[in-house]
Amino acid sequence: MGAGLKPGLRGSRFSVGRASARHFGSSYFVVHQYAPPCHPPNPSLNTPIFTTSDSSGVAYFWGYPSRGPSGPYTPAVAACGPNIVGLKVRKANGRQLNMALKSYKPTTPGQRGLVLIDRSELWKGRPVKSLTEGLTKNGGRNNTGRITMRRKGGGAKRLYRIVDFKRTKHDMAATVERIEYDPNRTAFIALIRYEDGTQNYILAPQRITVGDQVISGQKVDIKPGNAMPFQGMPIGTIIHNIELKPGKGGQIARSAGTYAQFVGRDGGYAQIRLSSGELRLVRQECMATVGAVSNPDNSNQNFGKAGRNRHKGIRPSVRGVVMNPVDHPHGGGEGRTSGGRHPVSPWGKPTKGARTRNKNKASSKLILRSRHAKKKGR
């Protein structure tokens, strides 16, 4: 196990959140997936996401990335935490393996540099008809027909999948029937069937497979896909699909690969740490789902050509410095210019980092630590 792994391989060679691929000896290494922090009292969560398989020629290593303690990668899971990275090794015997990211040979200009998510394990049929709705495109326009969101329009026709963000069917087990692609979000969705025959779509968490049982209730097992209020949840649990108001449905940590951590209790409130670094309070009656959201490699894709973004309904972004003065404050000038001022929007409002949050917003008192605090060195 681990042929070609140099003993001096350290976490600094890999950066968190970026898919890096390098050759070491006769093996091929790819940063594959994060292991979210595990909850120590539950031994079932201290197992690695992947297991070693000698028959397929795959070995799995776990170690610290650049933000963790400096040290060589070790062929074991020493601890569970947000700084642990899984490395998937493909031996140089030409055997094809299922990997999270697929890179293509540059046989055409559009294939050059193309890196996509491998969706071969997902359901290949159509979604459940009773759980879908028609979706009308608006091209970024509001009800008066004016563009309120630029750079939107076109794209492939979609069906909207009705996803259950509330998980209100308590104390009834459901079986995961399949994992599906959803064009309306970056995460995958899971079709579950309850004991009474009802079907629902939920956000698919990491480490969930077909045949697994999920359940929601006041006090359930700490297992990916199970949902419960913060009242019955142990501190330290990794969660997603978090409600801000009881009964409204999950609003936080729903995108691919995201998660938050339940870090404490304060009166009738629960303290959660978001992936942005923000520390905030939510009512303990609010529901949350255990685990991190699926498809963590979504941000590591490279679409290769502009047309793939057009298929998603994303139109080009034109820089202000290449416009005329009538179109943008940065426009005009002889030759290439830098704009001549701090970056602003077409309407003269500061952009690229300017704070726009209303200081008198009612929810400000629920934010204990701003996501910007770490930038100030606090």
CATH of the domain at 349: 4.10.950.10
Whether 248 maps to a domain, the answer reads yes
Whether residues 332 and 209 fall in one domain: no
Q: Residue 224's pLDDT is what?
A: 97
- The end-to-end CA distance of the chain, in Å, is 43
Q: Residue 378's pLDDT is what?
A: 52
Whether residues 191 and 248 fall in one domain: yes
Whether 297 maps to a domain, the answer reads no
In this structure, how many other beta carbons lie within 10 angstroms of the beta carbon of residue 172?
12
- Which residues are 265's β-sheet partners? 270
Identify the domain containing residue 336 by its residue range: 318-365
User: Which element (helix H / strand E) includes 310?
Assistant: helix 306-311
Let me know the angle formed at the C-alpha of 199 by 193 and 204, rounded to the nearest 5 degrees: 75
Whether residues 280 and 180 fall in one domain: yes
CA distance 203 to 183: 13
Whether residues 80 and 216 fall in one domain: no
Whether residues 136 and 262 fall in one domain: yes
The total number of structural domains that make up the chain: 3
Which of 243, 274, 290 corresponds to the end of one domain? 290
Whether residues 351 and 248 fall in one domain: no
CB 341 within 8 A of CB 349: no
Q: Residue 356's pLDDT is what?
A: 86
Whether 349 maps to a domain, the answer reads yes
Whether residues 335 and 221 fall in one domain: no
Which of 247, 272, 290 corresponds to the end of one domain? 290
Whether 266 maps to a domain, the answer reads yes
Q: Residue 100's pLDDT is what?
A: 84
Whether 254 maps to a domain, the answer reads yes
Whether residues 286 and 322 fall in one domain: no
Token representation of residue 150: 């630029």
- Which residues are 216's β-sheet partners? 170, 227
CB 74 within 8 A of CB 2: no
CB 158 within 8 A of CB 143: no
Whether residues 149 and 284 fall in one domain: yes
CATH number at residue 184: 2.40.50.140
Q: In what order do the strands lie in the sheet containing 199-203?
A: 199-203, 189-194, 174-180, 213-214
Which of 290, 309, 330 corresponds to the end of one domain? 290
Question: Which stretches of the chain drop beneath a pLDDT of 50?
Answer: 1-99
Per-residue model confidence as pLDDT tens digits over 340-355 = 999 999 999 999 988 8
Whether 72 maps to a domain, the answer reads yes
Whether residues 283 and 322 fall in one domain: no
pTM of the predicted model as reported, rounded to 2 decimal places: 0.74
**Among candidates 209, 204, 234, which has minimal Cα distance to 219?**
234
Q: Residue 61's pLDDT is what?
A: 34
Q: Residue 231's pLDDT is what?
A: 95
Whether residues 154 and 258 fall in one domain: yes
Whether residues 94 and 198 fall in one domain: no
